[in-house]
Amino acid sequence: SVSTQDPALHGQYSTQVSILSAMELIWNLCEILFVEAAAAGPLLLRLLDWVRLHVCDVDSMVREVLGSENPSKHKLFWNVVDIFVLQGRMDEARHLLSKEATANPTSMNMYKILDDLMKKMPVPTLGNTQTLTELELKWQHWHEECQRYLQDGTFASNPHMESICKILLGDEDAILEKKELMTTWYHFLVTRLLYSHPTVKPMELRFYAQSSMDLFLGGESSPEPLDMILMAAFEFEMHQVIKECSIVLSNWWFVAHLTDLLDHCKLLQSHNLYFGSNMREFLLLEYASGLFSHHSLWQLGVDYFDHCPEYGRVYLELHIERIPLSTEQKALKVLRICEQRQMHEQVRSVCKIMAMKALRNNRLGSALSWSIRAKDAAFATLISDRFLKDYCERGCFSDLDLIDNLGPSMLLSDRLTFLGKYREFHRLYGEKRFPEAARLLLTLMTAHIAPCSFWMTLLTDALPLLEQKEIIFSAEQTYELMRCLEDLTAGNPDKQKFQEDDVETTKVEMLRLALARNLARVIVKEGTVEGS
Amino acid sequence: QDNRISIWSAGDLGNVGLNGEYHGEPHLLCDIQHNGDVMDMQFLDQERIVVASSTGTVTIFRHHQNNQTLSANHRWEKAHHHVDQDTSCGGAACTGVVCNNPEIVTVGEDGRINLFRADQKDTVRTIDNADSSTLHAVTFLRTTEILTVNSIGQLKIWDLRQQRNEPSQIFSLAGDRVPLHCVDRHPNQQHIVATGGQDGMLSIWDIRQGTMPVSLLNAHEAEMWEVHFHPSNPDHLFTCSEDGSLWHWDASTNVSEKPSFLHQGGRSTTYLSHSTINQSVVSAWLSNDPTKDRMEITNLIPNQTLSVNSLDVLGPCLVYGTDAEAIYVNRQLFA
């Protein structure tokens, strides 16, 4: 956002940066108080780190002062020293003060004393090198020493140093004077704790927090949402923190993840909400559902649902069916997710949608490919019927590249098998392999691979074979054909109509004639085999 | 949706300002809005890029290097479309594009093949209904012949010199007609072709003989989106998949000297190739002696999460992009 030229965009980015900073602030505090559950002693150190990291940006001011020729003469010099002290950064403060001392030899004495006090200040340490009681004792002595120096008027001639000494003593007014530098009440809180109650216990924080906020704001301004959230954290009201964040933030991202973290640390009592799932799952479900409306983040939503043991799967099933399948590639990704989770219904549903789309666009090969993926025999039958219909209407097959190359997928549905075999028949016929073609044709009918509606067409296809000069059908086969024909005509319920239809009747008659003639020829032929 | 075509510099050029903080990281030079998903793209020449869109449009973008901008040079709207009146736009995704300056060939979900020339406004030639299923990818076999793969597991050769709209040859997988998603031709030996399928299987074909693949190699656990022979080191092949892995297949014959488990990146495993046809060919991809040939296969992605959708390789550099909105650049492929 630093680099954006466009002011509107800049404004937008700054807002987002500030929201993100606020989130980081809250998150880190929650980590310190809830997750790490820092105890008295380390607690203060953590809070100091927190303030230094998040609350004010002193670096630019520091750079400016240090970079100048005469740092101690810089107008912001004392501001920098003060902020170092307020943040407990003693070494850095002392370093700067030494510059002042060298520049101003008259204050050398004062400087030495102050420097010594700052060096000796007892602070909590990590690890077990001292107990809290030891620390408190040491601190008490140090505090009294500072008190003595102040009362003796050691720093009387230098107001800046005197103010620093007062801060070291935890004088609230002195600290409050530096309000502008601290900028926030929680910085004030931590500074106060550093210089008056370094061994503060976690449960005591709430009192100090409340009073700090009151003193800092001083009735001039009212607390903002961020302040309320932080206050709730200091009061260890986890649910309140979550609730306030939910109200203020525009999406569930922050709250869902924070709750998840707290839940994993076993810090949230499982509050059963009205519909049975717990708060963590509820928030994760909400967040993930939000992701699903995004054109590419839905894939992340899947992972979130996977981690919701109670309702995750149901939500996933519902959401995944509603992803717009704009391209085949997207559909394939959705399918892969469903297959990995054994969501068979959704697999079938997605494949059916894609197959229907393909069918409507006359992409029969694509439609078949989708049915194969879903192992959807019914749809494969539908597609085969389409092909057959096309054939009947046009007299030739469309999409031969598909039908000729069905391979094992032919077995997916009977109708598809028939289609493949029927095409094979035509191929054999085209290659003049008549006996094989004839055998295949017969098998199609006798093995009931062909649907009854197609028998007439098949028998009609047999005609040219019957009319050939050489005999193709054996007697046995001819009898079979005749039987098929009779089955067909006998089985027809609407005999009346059938007989009146001229074309149909002619066809049947021609067939009967051809069959009879063939039978005659073949009987003779077969009868004379044993001849000369 | 805000889809963009972007040009990045992979850290080689001087870094602009900012104390060299971004040294080595890809750095965005310029970008431009794109309508629809980018399904495929390829450089036409030093300055122009051809892009295939999910709306069915094919666009040529020009990269102006002097002021680092991109502009749309030419557009073929609805190059791929369905005839269905129900859909609002009737567009069909353009799934693959391949260039051989000045010729451009595209294929799409409408089963159509389009032939364009960069300098001509109108389509040079269209083969409608070239395929009854979706064409997933296209590549040049020779200057006048192209290879396509479709969603019923067929590899087809088309001779563009011929006017008839039929493929000159059709190859298909034995067994189930698993859809094929990608195809690439060996850079030097034009009869060797590699394809990747929906089941993650890598197939190597010798198109001079037979109609079935020479080798079938069990590779990924999900769709193989792209396969590429290394252009100057063709004993090396790269594949990427929906399962989030990117594999480097090393068929160079001195593999046996290298210790087989020392490789950058992920785990290394060794497979034997299963071949079905006997022949004596120089290329490591087609030879079938199981005792002699060991192909070394490495997964270049240590922690795989989401799909690797696309990859490209040139010299020592490998680039790939994932569904996790990340682009990775590996500049020391053979180190």
Averaged pLDDT for residues B56-63: 93
Dihedral angle over CA of A56, A58, A61, A62, nearest 10 = 170
User: How far does B267 lie from chain A, in Å, by closest CA?
Assistant: 23
Residues of chain A positioned with their CB less than 8 A from the CB of B179: 369
Tell me if chain A has a CB within 8 Å of the CB of B268.
Answer: no
Q: What confidence score (pLDDT) does residue B139 get?
A: 95
Q: What confidence score (pLDDT) does residue A387 get?
A: 84
Tell me if chain B has a CB within 8 Å of the CB of A371.
Answer: no
Residues of chain B positioned with their CB less than 8 A from the CB of A328: 93, 95, 109, 134, 151
- In this model, does residue B175 exceed pLDDT 80? no
User: How far does B258 lie from chain A, in Å, by closest CA?
Assistant: 37
Averaged pLDDT for residues B195-207: 93
How far is Cα B259 from Cα B269, in angstroms, rounded to an integer?
12
* Closest CB from B37, B177, B306 relative to A299: B306
| Average pLDDT score over chain A | 85
Q: Which of the residue ranges A277-281, A359-363, A510-514, B308-312 would you say has the lowest mean pLDDT?
A: A277-281
- In this model, does residue B89 exceed pLDDT 80? no
Averaged pLDDT for residues A274-302: 84
Averaged pLDDT for residues B1-22: 63
Residues of chain B positioned with their CB less than 8 A from the CB of A375: none
Structure tokens at A399: 């999409």
Where b means 16+ CB within 10 Å and e means fewer, A488-500 reads bbeeeeeeeeeee
Identify which has the larger pLDDT, A41 or B244. Answer: B244
Q: What confidence score (pLDDT) does residue B87 get?
A: 55
Highest mean pLDDT among A235-244, A399-408, A516-525, B218-227: B218-227
Dihedral angle over CA of A185, A189, A190, A193, nearest 10 = 170
Residues of chain A positioned with their CB less than 8 A from the CB of B173: 407
- In this model, does residue A58 exceed pLDDT 50? yes
All residues at 6 or more sequence positions from B181 whose CB lies less than 8 Å from its CB, including other chains: B136, B137, B149, B196, B197, B198, B223, B224, B225, B226
Interface test with chain A among B131, B151, B310, by most A beta carbons within 10 Å: B151
Interface test with chain B among A299, A363, A402, A403, by most B beta carbons within 10 Å: A363
| C-alpha closest to that of B56 among B98, B112, B103 | B112
* One-letter amino acid for residue A417 of the chain: T
**What distance separates the 2 farthest-apart alpha carbons in chain B?**
62
Q: Which of the residue ranges A223-237, A408-422, B184-198 would you say has the lowest mean pLDDT?
A: A408-422
Does A336 contact B95 at a Cβ distance shorter than 8 Å?
Answer: no
User: How far does B323 lie from chain A, in Å, by closest CA?
Assistant: 8
Structure tokens at A282: 């509820």
Query: Rounded to the nearest 5 degrees, what angle is found at the Cα of B243, between the Cα atoms of B35 and B56?
Result: 20
Where b means 16+ CB within 10 Å and e means fewer, A515-530 reads beebbebbeeeeeeee
How far is Cα A24 from Cα A276, in angstroms, rounded to an integer?
31
User: How far does A363 lie from chain B, in Å, by closest CA?
Assistant: 5
Q: What confidence score (pLDDT) does residue B224 get?
A: 95
* Closest CB from A332, A369, A398 relative to B223: A332
Residues of chain A positioned with their CB less than 8 A from the CB of B110: 361, 363
How far is Cα B207 from Cα A148, in angstroms, rounded to an integer?
98
Does A365 contact B93 at a Cβ distance shorter than 8 Å?
Answer: no
| pLDDT more than 70, % of chain B | 82
Structure tokens at B226: 């792209």
Which of the 8 DSSP states describes residue A33? I
* One-letter amino acid for residue A117 of the chain: L
How far is Cα A350 from Cα A367, in angstroms, rounded to an integer?
12
Peptide bond just before B231 cis, omega within 30 deg = no
* Closest CB from A296, A299, A408 relative to B175: A408
How far is Cα A58 from Cα A67, in angstroms, rounded to an integer?
14
Among all chains, which residue has been given the structure tokens 């076999």?
B141
- In this model, does residue A55 exceed pLDDT 90? no
Structure tokens at A461: 């296809």
* Closest CB from B1, B151, B156 relative to A365: B151
Residue ranges of domains in chain A: 19-55+184-265, 56-183, 453-531
Averaged pLDDT for residues A183-208: 91
| Model pTM score | 0.81
Question: What confidence tens digit (pLDDT) does each residue in A327-351 have?
Answer: 999 999 999 999 999 999 999 999 9
- Using CA coordinates, name the residue in chain B closest to A360: B84
- In this model, does residue A364 exceed pLDDT 50? yes
Q: What confidence score (pLDDT) does residue B21 get?
A: 39
Q: What confidence score (pLDDT) does residue B259 get?
A: 37
B260 confidence band (pLDDT: 50, 70, 90): very low
A466 confidence band (pLDDT: 50, 70, 90): confident
Q: Which of the residue ranges A173-187, A444-458, B220-234 would you say has the lowest mean pLDDT?
A: A444-458
* Closest CB from B37, B152, B177 relative to A327: B37
- In this model, does residue B278 exceed pLDDT 50? no
Question: What confidence tens digit (pLDDT) does each residue in A10-21 have?
Answer: 888 888 888 888
How far is Cα B249 from Cα B79, in angstroms, rounded to an integer?
36
A277 confidence band (pLDDT: 50, 70, 90): low
Q: Which of the residue ranges A267-271, A441-445, B220-224, B297-301 would you say has the lowest mean pLDDT?
A: A267-271
| Average pLDDT score over chain B | 82
Give the other-Cβ count within 10 Å of A155's Cβ: 21
How far is Cα A30 from Cα A38, in angstroms, rounded to an integer?
11
What strands lie across the sheet with B236-241, from one edge to the other?
A: B224-229, B236-241, B246-250, B295-299, B268-271
* Closest CB from A295, A398, A409 relative to B1: A295
Q: Which of the residue ranges A58-67, A363-372, B61-70, B130-139 would you say has the lowest mean pLDDT?
A: A58-67
Q: Which of the residue ranges A64-78, B49-63, B223-237 would you say has the lowest mean pLDDT?
A: A64-78
Interface test with chain B among A298, A366, A399, by most B beta carbons within 10 Å: A366
Does A336 contact B93 at a Cβ distance shorter than 8 Å?
Answer: no
B219 confidence band (pLDDT: 50, 70, 90): confident
A4 confidence band (pLDDT: 50, 70, 90): low
